[in-house]
Amino acid sequence: MPIFAAALLRPVVYTRGLHLAIGGVFAGICVMVVPGFDESLPRTLIFCLISPLPLLALAAIVPGTRHAEGVQARWLLKPRDSAEISLAPSLSLYGRLRTGLWLVFRVWLGVAVLALTANGLTLAVHIGFAPFRSGPLEIAGIQLLDGDRLLLGLFLAPILILALVWAIVAAGGLQVRVAQTLLGPSPAERLAEVEHQAEQLLERNRLAAELHDSIGHALTLTVLQAGAARELASTDPAFVHRALTVIEETGRRAMDDLERTLGLLRDAPVGPRARPTLVELDTLLDSARTAGTPILADVSPRIGDIPGVVSREAYRILQEAVTNALRHAPGRTVAIDIAVDDACLGLRVVNPLPARSASPPRLDGKGLRGARERAILLGGQFNAKPQDDDWIVEARLPLGLGSGFRTVRRGLAGSSPDNRTGPAGGWS
């Protein structure tokens, strides 16, 4: 008894019952139009099951029917995980077939539950009022005595009502499971959803890497410039002026990058400044030189011919390498080599390792991990490691982005941080 009382207090029981009733009422309307109700109850039930089929078949062909059924199922059936019921329209023959099967099941189950409820309640009321009726009374061809009437009215009628409640609850649960099977995402839709989530994850990681590289570089450069300016404030006013100019320009570029990234997060148009490319490499190197770090750069004259996406990602990789050199080995010479051939862009940054008292760059740091992901995203390779007394960062980025780009992009979300050399597992 407590179980049935608890069931009656759950709103979902009534919403699922309403969903069942809608299917049964729809079948009743079809019977009223064609062929009409019959005096025979079995024949009427058969008409209720058959007459809606042409309309259900036509409805299943309409792509939006699956969407409408999904909305109704989510609102009224209330599954534990609403994502198990898709809201996508049926655009394939397989999807329309599943929609048609769902419509038939929904109507037929609604007819069965509605007929059971109507006849069961009628019988329960008939039995419940039996003790108060005078004259002979028959149920299923059996003549009832006065004592039998009282027994049936007190016990059998409540049992019938509880059985009806249990049947409605069970039918609602069955309808939820069938809805998850027939209205749930197809294998193709599940694959598309996984790819969409992977794309979103990649986009979030890319934006996080953008902020880390841009803001991290700006803060590192600002701290170094401000510290050097404080030390030389009384002896070298010209250097202080240059340092403040670099701080201002670096802060302005960082603000532009921040505004552009926030614009992407708000689905707003791209900010006032596009992402920097290797064409702007001189600005990056001059800022590092002003901070007191000597830069020896051997740059190919062909960097202006590099595709935009490769040039932008290469700039960020170089920016991360220079930032690490400024942070961990300030004042030490940094050697940069940028080579371009017909198929590939090669980057190599070498700087002395910091003194033992200072902290060396971490192989699993966010900056290096972001640089590695940039290279892998383009189908290239990346490596960062200590060698003898130097810290070496190397990257090879293909200039031609073919069909493998999407494959690499989809697989990046599951790549391991320990994959430091890219897809090839080594250097070619």
pLDDT at 354: 75
Query: Which residues does the chain have with pLDDT short of 50?
Result: 268-273, 357-358, 402-428
First-to-final CA distance of the chain? 75
Peptide bond into 63 cis (omega under 30): no
The token duo for 361 is 């760059």
Q: 155 with 148: CB under 8 angstroms?
A: no
Provide the 8-state DSSP code for 342.
S
**The domain 192-414 belongs to what CATH superfamily?**
Histidine kinase-like ATPase, C-terminal domain (3.30.565.10)
pLDDT at 150: 60
pLDDT at 366: 72
CA atoms of 145 and 151, how far apart (whole Å):
10
Q: Locate the DSSP E strands across 109-220.
A: 138-139, 142-143
pLDDT at 249: 76
pLDDT at 126: 72
pLDDT at 236: 79
337 phi, psi to nearest 5 deg: -130, 120
- Give strand pairing partners of 5: none
CA atoms of 35 and 43, how far apart (whole Å):
11
On the CB side of 202, how many CA atoms lie within 13 Å of its CA? 21
CA atoms of 182 and 366, how far apart (whole Å):
44
The residue ranges of every structural domain in the chain are: 2-185, 192-414
Nearest CA to 109 out of 182, 162, 37 is that of 182
